[in-house]
Each structure stands twice: as structure tokens, then as C-alpha cells.
Amino acid sequence: MAKQKLQRFAELETFPNVFQQRVTFPHPDHFLKGKWHSDYFKNNSDIVLELGCGRGEYTVYLAEQFPNKNFFGIDIKGNRLWRGAKTALEKGFSNTCFMRIQIDHGIYYFAPNEVSEIWITFPDPQPQQTREHKRLTSPRFLNYYRKFLKPGGVIHLKTDSRFLFDYTREVVAQEKLVVHQDMTDIYSYPDLAPELLVRTTYENMFLKKGVPINYIRFSFS
């Protein structure tokens, strides 16, 4: 397993669709910050981020379903991210890339109003009170997203954790954010939107155990 990880890390260095964080202090802005449309994707289509993308299954699915949008899969774990990046290359997707960075470093990679949507799919709910600041829908992280999400840009949370779902609802209410959709046990609803139909490896594990999946979509304005 260790050898496989090393091989994947080495491959990531060669993938043209992967950007990796270099540890320097103070952290510099990425050279493509504010220029992803013009210098990388060569279009003005919406930019969508999947935060904590894991194997990149959701990122790849969305990129295939919505070829008129640009997608980033973001995760710090290169061994997992490798799978999504490799699949995107094999499929020849030009609207997809991956970042191996810490999520709270996104402010160094994206300029104000550069991002149109954020997806948070099955994150660690961080249930301990002392780890609230690590929850991806905490006020701390929402403040990061405000720095690059454009006005009216939406945030999607899809989770098996009822704890995180209810916590997010509370934060959204406290922050007086706009809720566009709120669903518990999404597969009990008919005619789900295409972006909600993909089932990742982790999601299938939860469903086999009878755990319902919850979803909320909201924005700052």
C-alpha cells in the first residue's frame, strides 16, 4: 500500500490537470488566481468547486453532466485525489482540474467573485465541540468562501450526517443566509435534479446501512 501511494504521488506531479500546494511562508497567491477563466480554461463559464472531493467521483460526474461549466476537485489527500484526476484525464475532460491543497487556503487560489458554486459532499462532520472550527459549514469556513464566491453564488451540502445537516441549518439561520432547497432523506423525493443523483463510494456505503442522505443549498444573498 505504501508503495502504491508513493507511485500515485509521483504520478500526480506529472498530471497536467493537478495543482499542488507548496509549503512556503507567507503563503503566496497562486499565479492563476483571478486568471482561471482567461489563462487556464480559456472560457468565461462558471467555476464550481468540490471541497474535500476525496476520489473525485462527484467532480468527474458533474463535469460530465455539465460540460458548459468548469470544475475543481479540492482535497489535501493526494492518494485519493489521484483517482479523480486520472479519470478526468482518461475521459479527456478539458473542464476539470484538481487541487491538492488545504481547503482554508482557497483564498490564495481564487480571486473575489471568481467562483460560482461550491459543493461540500460527505465531509467529516467533526462532531466534537472543540472541532467546530473544522466543520466545512462553520462560520469560519463560510467567511473564507465569501472571499471568492460571487454574489448569488450557491453552496451545496450533501451529507449522511444529520448532526452536520442540522448544525448547518442553524448556522444558515444565524447568519441570515438564503435557503434555496432543504431536503432530508433526498431519495424519498421524486424527480431529483441530475446533480443529486450521483452516488459516490461513501454514499453507497451509507445507503446500504439504511442511513438517509440530506441536502441543503444556500447562498449569501
Residues labelled as active-site residues: 124
What is the C-alpha to C-alpha distance for residues 154 and 148, in angstroms, rounded to an integer? 12
What is the C-alpha to C-alpha distance for residues 190 and 192, in angstroms, rounded to an integer? 6
Q: Identify whether the C-beta of residue 82 lies closer than 8 Å to the C-beta of residue 120.
A: no
* DSSP three-state, residue 30: coil
Integer CA distances (angstroms), 207 to 56, 128, 165, 177, in order: 19, 24, 16, 30
Nearest partner of 93 among 121, 117, 116, 69, judged by Cα: 69
Residue 194, C-beta contacts closer than 8 angstroms, at least 6 positions apart: 65
Omega of the bond leading into 26 within 30 degrees of 0 (cis): yes
What is the C-alpha to C-alpha distance for residues 92 and 44, in angstroms, rounded to an integer? 20
C-alpha cell belonging to residue 203: 454514499
